[in-house]
Amino acid sequence: MNYARKLSTIVCAAAILAAASPGYAKPRIVILATGGTIAGAQADRSQAGYQAGKFQIGDLIAAVPPLQDLAELSGEQVANIGSQTMTDQVWMTLAKRANVVLKRRDVDGVVVTHGTDTLEETGYFLNLVLKSDKPVVLVGSMRPATAIGADGPANLYDAVAVAANPGARGRGVLAVLNGEIHYAREIEKRNATQLDTFESPNRGRAGLVNTGHVVFFAKPVPRHTTETEFKIDDLDRLPRVEIVYSYASLGPEFVDFAVKDGAKGLVLAGVGDGNTTDAALAAFERAAKQGIAVVRSTRTGSGIVARNMELDDDRLGFIASMDLNPQKARVLLMLGLTRTSDPAKLQEMFTRY
């Protein structure tokens, strides 16, 4: 493909110099593919629409020959879907497979190809359940592989470079796109179409990568991977948690229905500092009294929803999400509910992770 040849001219020189260095031994990286735009194709290059997950992982690797200069690569197709259709079951399959691969002595790191729509949720889930300090890097693209100016090849090259870098070890799960390195816990998709869609609004980026040259910033503060209490080896499913989005005139109906329909936890995507209407608030309070875990988060996209700041969480029986957005609060609450239903203990998890 033309885009692969263009990328090759940019990165080959640096890769060849690295490979020629005395004592150089290429790291061994496994790419676990789940599909997404990075593996997508258009019926016509002039069209905006495309089919995600059209190509297999072998196609992606073959399209970027300089990858072979960075690492010894192998690939596995775990799924091949658009990430808008990501499910808890695919998360479990991916995480269990990644844990097996990371235990191998002949593996130095893992790259996960993924669609951008739910990349932040998958990344945070892996950040909480993987049990290795080896590098794990998620990567995707905003343009399909067949598009003019496809960003996937460069992103994939940079992701492998980060996974192969010794400095990535012990940092938890990372995400690489558009020349930036983000912690999976912090990253958020903030634009529907632009290449620079991802930001880490609260704690900032983890580092930068330019044609394979990696620079890391500060290490993460929240606990991750080997430091968490979450284990999925014996789990077949996760507890059901729903998100209720707050808006003017929100009534109690969505909350009441979710409880009646079997939800074990609820996340409020609240206005401002995790607030909502009186009617919805009363419904959340009723749910908490029935033993349903209720987490307050914010729809604003950044900031901290601290305990007892906007509402009396102690009286209402609620949990404050701290700086987790609603979709990540849902991930942590699902895993938290596999350990406990005690709101106080769940609150400790939101402070710790």
Indicate which residue of 37, 118, 122, 276 is catalytic.
37
d(CA 109, CA 290) in angstroms, rounded, equals 44
- Residue 233, in any domain of the structure: no
Q: Examine the fold and report which residue of 159, 192, 227 is the final residue of a domain before the chain moves on.
A: 227
Quote the percentage of the chain above a pLDDT of 70: 92
As given in the structure block, the two tokens for residue 230 are: 């979450």
Q: Tell me the per-residue pLDDT of 201-254, one tens digit each, with 9 for 90 and over.
A: 999 999 999 989 999 999 999 999 999 999 999 999 999 999 999 999 999 999
Contact 243, 298 (CB under 8 A): no
Are residues 50 and 115 located together in one domain of the fold? yes
- Average pLDDT (322-342) is 98
Confidence of residue 15 (pLDDT cuts 50, 70, 90): very low
- Average pLDDT (91-99) is 98
pLDDT above 50 for 16: no
Comparing 23-32, 158-167, 313-322, 330-339, the range with the smallest average pLDDT is 23-32
Q: Examine the fold and report which residue of 174, 194, 227 is the final residue of a domain before the chain moves on.
A: 227
Task: Please name the amino acid found at residue 318.
Answer: F
Going by their DSSP bridges, the two strands 198-199 and 188-189 should be labelled as antiparallel
Number of domains in the chain: 2
d(CA 34, CA 25) in angstroms, rounded, equals 28
Contact 27, 71 (CB under 8 A): yes
- Residue 234, in any domain of the structure: no
Provide the residue range defining the domain that includes 26.
2-227
Q: Examine the fold and report which residue of 179, 194, 227 is the final residue of a domain before the chain moves on.
A: 227
Active site residue 9: no
pLDDT for the residue 44: 67
d(CA 133, CA 122) in angstroms, rounded, equals 18
Q: What is the mean pLDDT of the chain?
A: 92
Task: Provide CB contacts within 8 A for 304, sequence distance 6+.
Answer: 202, 322, 323
- Residue 126, in any domain of the structure: yes
CB atoms inside a 10 Å sphere around CB 28: 16
- Residue 235, in any domain of the structure: no
DSSP 33: E
- Average pLDDT (314-328) is 98
pLDDT for the residue 22: 45
pLDDT for the residue 52: 82
pLDDT for the residue 48: 62
- Average pLDDT (193-204) is 97
Are residues 165 and 259 located together in one domain of the fold? no
pLDDT for the residue 8: 38
Q: Return the CATH number at 317.
A: 3.40.50.40
pLDDT for the residue 199: 98
Are residues 220 and 76 located together in one domain of the fold? yes
